[in-house]
């Protein structure tokens, strides 16, 4: 049997799938995930942030596959369940190619499936600033120029951080966002041109589909070698905005980038449930968002939905889930999987660098192709983001491709002990960090010495712990 086409998937999402109340779908996820974690004996182990247990990764994979087969996906607009039988799912997974070409000219890169403890260099598709109210115009160009000028960066995530369009406040889903989608991409093109890398890949993440679509232009806008971000909503959910992004990416022929963030404490339950639900989410990305058609890659994140920090990605249970989820996907599929880890601390701080190291420990030695996103998610201020943390993702990402999982586990533990006590409600997760104009001299677009000193200090510490750069 062939995998269902996109049109068949859309028919099920919009017309023919069984109607179910959202709450019933959510509770079914919880019930099935709870049963499967017991059946497969998956237990959260806080003492092992990076697992070396292959059978645990395979059990998590099988539980995730079974969960998706039993529950399916859910379309929030139509309230329809999008179900697939086992043979359709297996065929969809089989059609994945394990390769995606991004960028153009001298910036053309091939993202390839990396195995667990694969010592080939990863790709650094980094980013970006999330929710930081960056002002439109020159400082926005400088932000992405500061990222693009880093030689280890192979691509980056953009937006939606802008607060205004033509000086007017931008609200999500409004016509001003549509205009901004195009403007934002033009400014990014200018940034990568200034960095001398006009073919560098980037992915656009405006909230509304129309804002991304408006930016598509093979010359001056979003090219086919760039991408549009679609999201799987927690848990196993989609909506017409995201499906519109997929349909357009499919027809236009640009890269599909799918983000999936399993929520610890949400409908999946605890860390064990979030682990298998995030794997089911990844399978949904393949089948519903058609990752086997055209070029695509995936970003798997883990968030903690309950206190002390709603959006923290880099906590002990998140690292545990990330390390197993990375290995489960790498060992059992050809999904190109990148890391996503928005930090608790802001840019230019020792804690953010330590969090980045911990996130990479659970990613690169565990079979992820590359990395994406390193910006603080919680309680941000304008201009919060810079190229410096992207440089760090790149340098540490490459260094970590040479290590084994047991070393990654001990390094992750070292890092956690340095910062996890600082993730508190009172601190909003950690230090706020510094803005682009504080970290960089905007005339030369080079980091200031005090921040380079912090950077080099953390690197030296890592070298002392045995990491080779």
Partner 1 sequence: MTKEEEILQNLSDAVQSFDSDAAIDAAKASVEAKISPVKAIEEGLAKGLRVVGDKFEAGELWLPHLVLGAEALEAAVKVLEGHMAIEDLESTNRGTIVIGTVEGDIHDLGLRIVASMLRANGFRVYDIGCDARTLNFIEKAKEVKADIIAASSLMTTTMPFMKDLVEALETAGIRDQYKVMVGGGPVTEEWAKAIGVDGYGKDAAEAVRVAKELVKK
Binding residues for partner 1, per CB under 8 A? Answer: 23, 26-27, 30, 76, 131-133, 160-161, 163, 169-174, 177, 207, 233-234, 239, 241, 263, 265-270, 273, 305-311, 377-380, 425, 428
Distance CA 256, CA 249 (A): 6
| Shortest distance, position 305 Cβ to partner 1, whole Å | 6
Q: How far is the CB of 271 from partner 1 (least distance, A)?
A: 10
First to last CA, the chain: 48
| Structural element, H or E, at residue 227 | strand 227-232
Nearer to partner 1 among residue 61 and residue 267 (C-beta):
267
CB of residue 227 to partner 1, shortest distance in Å: 20
Q: How many CB atoms lie within 10 A of CB 426?
A: 6
User: Are residues 266 and 274 in contact, defined by beta-carbon separation less than 8 angstroms?
Assistant: yes
Structural tokens at position 284: 């949904």
216 or 380, CB closer to partner 1? 380
Three-class secondary structure of residue 386 per DSSP: coil
The minimum distance between CB 455 and partner 1, in angstroms, equals 27
User: Please, which residue, 241 or 395, has the CB nearer to partner 1?
Assistant: 241
Nearer to partner 1, 205 or 299 (CB): 205
Distance (Å, whole) CA 193 – CA 64 = 43
Closest to 312 in 3D by CA, of 397, 365, 379: 379
According to DSSP, residue 442 is labeled T
Asked if 327 and 116 touch (Cβ cutoff 8 Å), the reply is yes
Nearer to partner 1, 132 or 337 (CB): 132
Q: Which lies closer to partner 1 via its Cβ, residue 67 or residue 96?
A: 67
User: Is the Cβ–Cβ distance between 212 and 181 less than 8 Å?
Assistant: yes
Q: How far apart are CA 107 and CA 321, in angstroms?
A: 33
- Side by side, which strands form the sheet with 237-238? 80-82, 73-75, 237-238
CB 234, min distance to partner 1, A:
6
Q: How far is the CB of 256 from partner 1 (least distance, A)?
A: 20
| Smallest distance from partner 1 to CB 104, Å | 30
State the minimum distance, in angstroms, from the CB of residue 23 to partner 1.
7
Taking the C-alpha atoms of residue 449 and residue 439, their distance in angstroms, rounded to an integer, is 9
Residues 6 or more apart from 92 whose CB is under 8 A from it? 3, 4, 84, 286, 287, 292
Nearest CB to partner 1, comparing residues 79 and 410: 79
Q: Could you give the CA distance from residue 437 to residue 460 in angstroms, rounded to a whole number?
A: 26
Nearest-approach distance from CB 238 to partner 1, in angstroms? 10
Rounded to an integer, what distance in angstroms lies between the CA atom of residue 58 and that of residue 330? Answer: 10
């Amino acid at each position: 049997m062939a995998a269902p086409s996109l049109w068949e998937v859309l028919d099920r999402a919009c017309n023919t799938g069984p109607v179910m109340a959202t709450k019933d779908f959510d509770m079914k996820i919880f019930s099935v995930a709870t049963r499967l974690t017991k059946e497969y004996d998956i237990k959260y182990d806080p003492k092992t942030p990076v697992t070396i247990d292959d059978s645990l990764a395979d059990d998590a994979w099988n539980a995730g596959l079974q969960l998706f087969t039993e529950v399916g996906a859910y379309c929030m607009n139509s309230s329809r369940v999008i179900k697939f039988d086992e043979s359709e799912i297996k065929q969809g997974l089989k059609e994945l190619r394990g390769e995606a070409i991004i960028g153009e000219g001298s910036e053309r890169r091939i993202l390839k499936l990396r195995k667990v403890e694969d010592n080939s260099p990863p790709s650094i598709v980094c980013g970006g600033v999330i929710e930081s109210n960056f002002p439109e115009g020159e400082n926005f160009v400088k932000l992405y120029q500061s990222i693009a000028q880093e030689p280890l960066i192979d691509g980056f995530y953009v937006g939606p951080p802008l607060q205004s369009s033509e000086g007017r406040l931008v609200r999500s889903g409004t016509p001003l966002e549509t205009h901004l989608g195009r403007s934002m991409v033009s400014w990014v093109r200018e940034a990568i041109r200034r960095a001398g890398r006009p073919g560098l890949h980037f992915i656009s993440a405006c909230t509304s589909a129309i804002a991304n679509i408006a930016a598509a232009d093979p010359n001056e806008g979003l090219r086919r070698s760039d991408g549009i971000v679609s999201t799987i909503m927690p848990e196993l959910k989609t909506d017409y905005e995201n499906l519109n992004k997929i349909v357009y990416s499919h027809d236009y022929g640009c890269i599909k980038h799918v983000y999936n963030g399993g929520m610890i404490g949400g409908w999946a339950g605890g860390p064990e449930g979030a682990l298998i639900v995030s794997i089911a989410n990844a399978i949904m990305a393949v089948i519903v968002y058609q990752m086997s058609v055209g070029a695509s890659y995936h970003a798997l994140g883990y968030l903690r939905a309950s206190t002390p920090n709603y959006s923290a990605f880099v906590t002990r249970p998140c690292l545990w889930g990330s390390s197993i989820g990375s290995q489960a996907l790498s060992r059992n599929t050809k999904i190109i999987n990148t890391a996503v880890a928005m930090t608790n601390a802001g840019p230019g701080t020792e804690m953010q660098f330590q969090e980045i190291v911990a996130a990479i420990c659970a990613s690169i030695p565990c079979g992820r192709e590359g990395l994406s996103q390193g910006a603080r998610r919680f309680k941000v201020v304008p201009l919060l983001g810079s190229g410096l943390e992207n440089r760090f993702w790149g340098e540490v990402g490459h260094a970590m491709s040479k290590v084994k999982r047991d070393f990654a586990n001990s390094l992750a533990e070292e890092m956690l002990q340095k910062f996890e006590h600082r993730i508190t409600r009172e601190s909003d997760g950690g230090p706020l960090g510094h803005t682009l104009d504080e970290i960089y001299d905007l005339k030369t677009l080079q980091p200031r010495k005090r921040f380079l000193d912090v950077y080099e200090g953390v690197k030296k510490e890592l070298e002392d712990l045995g990491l080779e750069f």
